[in-house]
Structure 1
Amino acid sequence: MAITDRQTAALALAHALSAAERGLPVIPLTARKLPALPSPHRNDDRRPVCRGACGLPGHGVHDATTDPAAVRALFAAAPWATGYGIACGRPPHHLIGIDLDVDPTGGGDSAVSLRRLALHHLFTIPPTVTVLTPSGGRHLWLTGPPGVPVPNSAGRLAPGIDIRGTGGYLVGPGSVTRHGRYRLAPGTAGLPPAPCPRALLRLLTPPPRRRHGVEAPDSDPDRGQGLVRFVLAAREGGRNTRLFWAACRAYEHGYGDALADALTRAAVRTGLTEREARATIASAARLFRC
């Protein structure tokens, strides 16, 4: 291993130990932002579903720990690690990550979308830990209440806004990836993760599930035309994200099946194939059905 690589690995471990000291469970990551340790079951024919109960490392976010000795052991087993991940949804912080992506096509500003949501739903994002990503995006760290799991999602809240919740992880500040280094935003290093506003938490947690195949009794076929227009305005690079978000909103409000054909036609007009569009809509439907 080159000297620079050794220094990168040593810094990654140091940052991970510092995070663990603050009660944040960590795992080593590769430069591709993936868990550094391979699964111990990768050669098993039946690929058992194991979340670390076997006692061996290599179970991704399920390996995350705050124990310094265990952190050192994980990094010793993965000397190629260049960064670390922080498990979300775990005590004591029950971390929730708001990932504000940058649209390279200029089709939208996720930070502006978040401000619009905050204005519409009457909440404010308090000062909190903010991590700047190499692509120009940012991660906002919030804490959730115990016993309220927040699901991971991509574009469900709004286009370009991904959520890291229970079972997910955030790339920790100080990590080095193929595209650059993650770093703390100026003025936020000394802040604790702020509590998630209640109104935002309600948006992040899944609504009550409807029974399979049952639409709300007041479904109106003319509803959702704003969502159709939203999909029609999509640009290349953001078409699938916009379609998924619109479909989620339609199913959330109970008229997803009634709007599916119109959303499909709109997506096809933007350049997606009908097969791609229907697969994306089906993915959204699964989120809101038992």
Structure 2
Amino acid sequence: MATIDRQSATLALAHALSAAERGLPVIPLSRSKLPALPSPHRNGTHPVLCRGECGLPGHGVHDATTDPATVRALFAAAPWATGYGIACGRAPHHLIGIDLDTKPPGTDATAALQLLALRHLFTIPETVVVITPSGGHHIWLAGPPDAVVPNSASRLAPGIDIRGAGGYLVGPGSLSGRGVYRLAPGTAHLGPAPCPRTLLDLLTPPPRPHHSHHSHRPVDHHGQGLVRFVLAAHEGQRNTRLFWAACRAYENGIGEQLTSALASAAVRTGLTPHEAHATIASAARMSAAR
């Protein structure tokens, strides 16, 4: 088993270096598809608003780099890594990922995207497509430098998740607990195609109006909706849904009160307590930075 793990780590590093050469910032991932390096602030009692300013690795997508020496150093610090993540929203490609999932049963994200395309008159261009171990697809698109595409889960349609600024895509060649991520036939020679303007408008909704804390809905009512949103997550959505819900909780001033309930809901969907609390802490840091 140790030999197989070393082979997987070696392949993951090779794929990551190849992606970095093409201008795609990368980080090492574990089999769980989460960043392989733990946070250097994980033992603190309060969330630390650090996105790598401390100079230490372990800040998730904020560690992503195209520098080959730094990529090698990150993987050397995480010899258990079997995959790599590609940071979205970063120059030069400003990558946008459209994640077409296959769960829960009955979900047809591909058909939902086709319906959106017909309704809003856009066409998905020929571009990089990655096939996930569960049979889903990651469509890679390039965004303009002045557009900030947020991450979202099933906002456009059920089963369509968006990876934007602050998110990452599992790179082709990565090995997860479910299998290997592979490039779709005929797309290996392609780069991320520009995102159609109409689709980009759908992915960048106007900013929500600011409300004072006095105008928020009651904590119990609002918080229970976020908890139910997390509980409804299926495999492939769990971390993204938890992060989205935690961000909304902190934006509405109820993050600390809702941490325990959100973490418990995430654990019920299959995340470990450590993964759940790490994701909530990341949401707290991002919300504070904003």
Superposition TM-score, scaled by structure 1 size:
0.72
Equivalent position of 1:172 in the other structure? 171
Distance (Å, rounded) in 2 between the aligned partners of 1:197 and 1:136: 25
- Deviation, 1:211, is 4.8
Q: Distance in 1 between matches of 2:149 and 2:91?
A: 13
Decide which structure has the larger Cα Rg and report it.
Answer: 1
Q: Deviations over 1:204-256 (max 9, x none)?
A: 0022423549xxxxxxxxxxxxxxxxxxxxxx988xx9xx9xxxxxxxxxxxx
Give the match's secondary structure for 2:155: strand
Letter paired with 1:10: T
CA deviations 1:120-143 (Å, max 9, x no partner) are 000000000000000010000000
SS at match of 2:19: helix
1:116 aligns with 2:115: yes
Q: State the Cα distance separating 1:105 from its structure 2 match.
A: 1.7
> How do 1:80-119 and structure 2 match up within 5 A?
80-106=80-106, 108-119=107-118
* Residue of structure 1 equivalent to 2:30: 30
For the residues of structure 1 that align with 2:51 and 2:85, how far apart are their CA atoms? 17
Residue aligning to 2:272: none
- The answer as to 2:39 corresponding to 1:77 is no
Could you say if the C-alpha distance between residues 34 and 122 of structure 1 is closer, same or farther in structure 2, counting changes exceeding 3 Å? same
**CA distance 1:163–1:3, change in 2 (3 Å):** same
Which amino acid in 2 is paired with 1:134?
P
Specify the code of the residue in structure 1 equivalent to 2:47.
Answer: R
Q: Secondary structure at the match of 1:140?
A: strand
Q: Which AA in structure 2 matches 1:84?
A: Y
Query: Partners in 1 of 2:77 and 2:122 — Cα distance?
Result: 44
Amino acid at match of 1:145: P
Separation in 2, partners of 1:191, 1:23: 14
In 1: Cα distance, 2:15 partner to 2:233 partner:
34
1:130 alignment partner in structure 2: 129
Aligned residue runs from structure 1 range 144-155, under 5 A: 144-155=143-154
Q: Which whole-Å deviations, capped at 9, do the CAs of 1:32-55 have from their partners, x for residues lacking one?
A: 000000000111233321000000
- 1:24, 1:177 → 2: CA distance? 20
Give runs of aligned pairs for residues 187-206 of structure 1, distance below 5 A. 187-206=186-205
Distance in 2 separating the partners of 1:65 and 1:237:
30
Distance, in Å, in 2 between the alignment partners of 1:135 and 1:26 is 23
| Distance in 1 (alpha carbons) for counterparts of 2:24 and 2:81 | 18
The 2-side partners of 1:169 and 1:209 are apart by 24
| Change in CA separation of 1:237 and 1:33 when aligned onto 2, cut-off 3 Å | closer
1:103: Cα distance to partner? 2.3
Aligned to 1:60: 60
Q: Distance in 2 between matches of 1:171 and 1:237?
A: 19
Distance 1:80 1:69 in 2: 18
| Structure 1 residue ranges (4+ consecutive) displaced by more than 4 angstroms after TM superposition | none
Q: Distance in 2 between matches of 1:237 and 1:55?
A: 34
- Say whether the 8 Å CA contact 1:105–1:237 is kept in structure 2: no
Residue identity over aligned pairs, in percent, reads 74
SS of the residue corresponding to residue 156 of structure 1 reads coil
Give distance in 2, aligned partners of 1:49 and 1:10.
33
Distance change (3 Å), C-alpha of 1:85 and 1:237? closer
Gaps of 5+ in 1: 214-235, 245-289
SS at match of 1:199: helix
- Structure 2 unaligned segments of length 5 or more: list them: 213-231, 242-289
Q: 1:43 to 1:237 in 2, by over 3 A?
A: closer
Instruction: Compute the TM-score of the two structures, normalised by the length of structure 2.
Output: 0.72
The residue number in structure 1 matching 2:286 is none
Q: How does 1:117-266 map to 2 (within 5 A)?
A: 117-212=116-211
